[in-house]
Every structure is written in C-alpha cells, then in structure tokens.
Amino acid sequence: MDRIRITGGNELRGTIPISGAKNAALPLMIASLLTSDTLTLENVPHLADVEQLLRILGNHGVDVAVNGRRERQDESYSRTINFTCRTIVDTTAPYELVSKMRASFWVIGPLLAREGQARVSLPGGCAIGTRPVDFLLDGLQALGAEIEIDGGYVNVRAPKGGLIGGRYACPKVSVGTTHVLMMAATLANGTTVIENAASEPEVVDLANCLTAMGAKISGAGTRTITIDGVTSLSGARHRVLPDRIETGTYAMAIAMAGGDVTLQGTDEALLGGALDTLRQAGASITATESGLRIVRNGNGIQAVDITTEPFPGFPTDLQAQFMALMTRASGVSSITETIFENRFMHVQELARLGAKISLSGQTARVEGVAKLKGAPVMATDLRASVSLVIAGLAAEGETMVNRIYHLDRGFERLEEKLTRCGAIVERVSG
Ligand code: UD1
C-alpha cells in the first residue's frame, strides 16, 4: 500500500494549479443520467472518486469519452469528458460499487426521475459519523416516491406518470439532499420547493449546469430553491468550478510551512469567510490576475477559534487542516465541529507529531506548541489525511503518512504540486 514520506522544514514557493472541484464534479457527472444527449464536462479532476463514479455510471449505461477518446484512464491533469446515456440499461446500483463512496448513492435521484424506479445500495464513504440518508428519502417521498428498504438496498418507485412536484423542508442543511432533490425535481410534474436548502458553491454549479440542460431552477445559492419540472433535458457543455477545499488546504499548508505561493485558477468568493479566518491566523491573501497569492507574514501563526457551519460558514472539510495549522499557533484555539459527529480522528494522529489537543464533546482545544516532530501516522479519512501532510510539512524530520488511498480520492497529484513548490514529499510504494 502506498505511503507518503515528508521531510519537514522547507518553505513553499511557486505556483499550484487548483483542480476542478471533486464535490461539484460528482453530482455533475450524475446529472448525465437525466438526458439521452451528451453532457460535456470540462475541468473534471483525475481522482479515485471520479474513476469510481465512472464505473458506476457505466453500469447504468453511460458511455464515457475522455478528451474525445473512448478510454477510462488519462494521466493528464483535469480533463474534458463526454457523458452520453442514450438509454438507462440498469436501474440498480449494486453494493460492490456504491459502498466505496457515499456520493454514488445520489444516482437515486436521476434514475427515479427518468425511469420511474431505482434500486440503490445504502452508501459507504469516509467514516466520519453515521451519515444517514433519511432526508434524501423523505424528500423523494415528498415528490410522490414510494420507498422500501430491503436487504441493504433502497427500492424507490415513482407514481404512474412520474414524480410530482412537492415541498420539502430539510431538517438540517444537507448538500447531498439538495443535489438529489434538485435533480429529481427537474423532470417532475409541477413545481418543487426545497426549503433550508444547501447554498454551497457546488449546489450553484449543479443548478447552472442543469439550467444549461433546460431545467427551470431559481434560488440556487439561497436557502430556498424552486424547480419547475420540464418534460425532458438536453445535453450541455459545462466547466466544473475550482475546488474550494483544495484551495483552502494549500492556503493552510503555506500558512503552516511559510513561503509565497500563487494558487492558480481559483477565487476567494468560493470560500465564503474561511480565508478571512486564515488572515486572522497570520496569512496575507491577495487576489491576482491568475488566482490567489498566499504569503505567511513574519509574525508567526496566531490562535483563532472556529466553528464549522454550512456555507458561507467555515467548512467542515477544512476543519482538520485548520487544526493542523493551530497546533503551531501562539496561544490556544477552540475548534467546534457541528456538521459531523465523529470528525476528530486526526486528533490522535496529530498528537503523535507532538500536538497538544484535548477533546470535549464536539470541541477540540488546541494549545499551540513551538515545534512538531516527524513520526509515522495513519490517514483515517480524506480531509484528515491531508491535515497530517500539512503538519508534516512543518514538523522536524520525517513524517510517514500511511494509508494514503484516502488522499487519492480527493487531491489531484498532491505530492507533485507540493514538490514543485520546494516541499520534500515523496510517494513510497509497497
Ligand atoms: C457533502 C460533501 C462533504 C461535506 C459535506 C458537508 C460531497 C461529495 N461531499 O457531503 O465533503 O463534508 O457535504 O459540507 O459533496 N444528514 C442526515 N440525513 C441525510 C443527509 C444528511 O442526517 O439524509 C446529515 C449528515 O449526517 C451530516 C449533515 O446532515 O450531519 C450534513 O451532511 P450533507 O451535507 O448531506 O453531507 P454530504 O452531502 O454527504
């Protein structure tokens, strides 16, 4: 199994290209199930999660052409991919495929909307809490679907004549629920209103793509989204937006290691208030023609308290990385997780590097230390893994990050991007 070896202590200098957003690419790819025409997506990142979803979509009958060629693998950075689903050949998404990635469950929305039925295995994915799908199913029920859970599978069926527009108020802001209901409602009869909808940039990106395909959607980016159903959708060409989590992650890596790096092709607006928090912690961040320039100012890292919240609040997907940064801050910071109940697995791994962190319920108290020291650590989930890389960049000596397959799920060419900026990071096979 591959590992990543980091020799800490180098500053980062240069440019890092930001890839297309994983969390936008996945629902956009799934949207290709809604039409028999070709959906062309540009800037699709080359990631294990994307490859896994290509396999799942292939199983439903989606023909995939990468950069115009019929192949699955491509070694270049983000790619243009054509997705064509003339007919849905199978409405079952089996356990073997769905259990590896939670977002693959979202195929339930388009399959139900287009074929009137679906059988989808209950999902897997990162072990960061129970992550149920009750909101998604209640929402589909509000559109008239009948639902039955049987042997680890969800069987859904639309009424004769198709889904019927309805109103669903989500009990808690949920990105996946918003994606699924938005997709399902595009082909329903009548109007659907999603209340307490997620307003993440990836939801807006999906709404923009669906609109280009002929859907009638208003309010994406606010807490209330209205969808007027249409009888069919057409193909479209859409560019996946830049990855805000990758942007924030590298910004924190630079704040941690020091240096001066331009993050190419990204935009501060995608991060809500998260970069302001990083400014308070001691980074200077400025917009340039090509992206964002991040410089660690000379005063060291300051402790800042954060609480994770739905967009535009501080994203849960940057919580682990920010905690890594706070391990070296002057003072004590308090980090509260409100989105997932079990997203502190990185705490004990950061402690192996010398971090001082205590947990009380959903809040971590991080007391900054003068230095971290390299050690072997274990990656536990996608974002936790990269927090260990960030800590390793500033630790004295060698940090070996084990089980890095999580990193490959969500960070395109991480070691290459860091190495180009002067970090000593290498992948060790076996
Ligand atoms: C998406 C992101 C993930 C991010 C998360 C929160 C993708 C592929 N993944 O995950 O990186 O961390 O948003 O920003 O885009 N919930 C329920 N019942 C449900 C659905 C959700 O209780 O039916 C709960 C979850 O357990 C969690 C909260 O709602 O506590 C938010 O989850 P949600 O926004 O749905 O996360 P995902 O869409 O799975």
Mutate to test the pocket of ligand 1, among 105, 140, 175 (most ligand atoms within 8 A of CB): 175
Residue tagged 């960030």 (tokens)? 390
Alpha helices in 80-213 (DSSP H): 95-98, 108-115, 134-142, 175-186, 201-212
* Mean pLDDT across 103-113: 97
Contact 46, 78 (CB under 8 A): yes
Instruction: For residue 126, indicate whether it is catalytic.
Output: yes
Does a cis peptide bond (omega within 30 degrees of 0) precede residue 312?
A: yes
- Ligand 1 atom with the smallest distance to the CA of 135 is 23
| Strand positions, DSSP E, 102-243 | 117-121, 146-150, 153-157, 167-169, 191-195, 216-218, 224-228, 236-239
Which residue type sits at 294? Answer: I
The neighbour count for residue 100, using CB atoms within 10 Å, is 18
- Determine the longest span between alpha carbons in the chain, in angstroms: 66
What's the pLDDT band for 307 if we cut at 50, 70, 90?
very high
Per-residue pLDDT of 327-363, as tens digits, reads 999 999 999 999 998 789 899 999 999 999 999 999 9
Mutate to test the pocket of ligand 1, among 131, 181, 383 (most ligand atoms within 8 A of CB): 131
146 CA to middle of ligand 1, Å? 23
pTM, rounded to two decimals = 0.96
174 CA to middle of ligand 1, Å? 5
Query: Residue 200: which of 185, 218, 222, 233 has the closest Cα?
Result: 222
Ligand 1 neighbours by CB, cut-off 6 Å: 23, 26, 102-103, 129, 131-136, 172, 174-177, 202, 316-317, 339-340
Top-ranked range on mean pLDDT: pick from 67-76, 98-107, 109-118, 376-385: 109-118
Query: Residue 128: which of 348, 390, 319, 345 has the closest Cα?
Result: 345
* Mean pLDDT across 190-216: 98
pLDDT at position 131, please? 61
The neighbour count for residue 417, using CB atoms within 10 Å, is 25
Per-residue pLDDT of 218-255, as tens digits, reads 999 999 999 999 999 999 999 999 999 999 999 999 99
- Whether the CA torsion 249, 255, 256, 258 is positive or negative: it is positive
* Mean pLDDT across 127-139: 77
Three-class DSSP category at 131: coil
pLDDT of 74 higher than 70? no
Take residue 362 and report the two structure tokens written for it.
């959903």
131 CA to middle of ligand 1, Å? 7
pLDDT of 126 higher than 50? no
Mutate to test the pocket of ligand 1, among 172, 223, 411 (most ligand atoms within 8 A of CB): 172
Take residue 402 and report the two structure tokens written for it.
């084990």
Sequential DSSP letters for 385-418:
HHHHHHHHHHSBSEEEEE-THHHHHH-TTHHHHH
Share of the chain above pLDDT 70, in %: 96
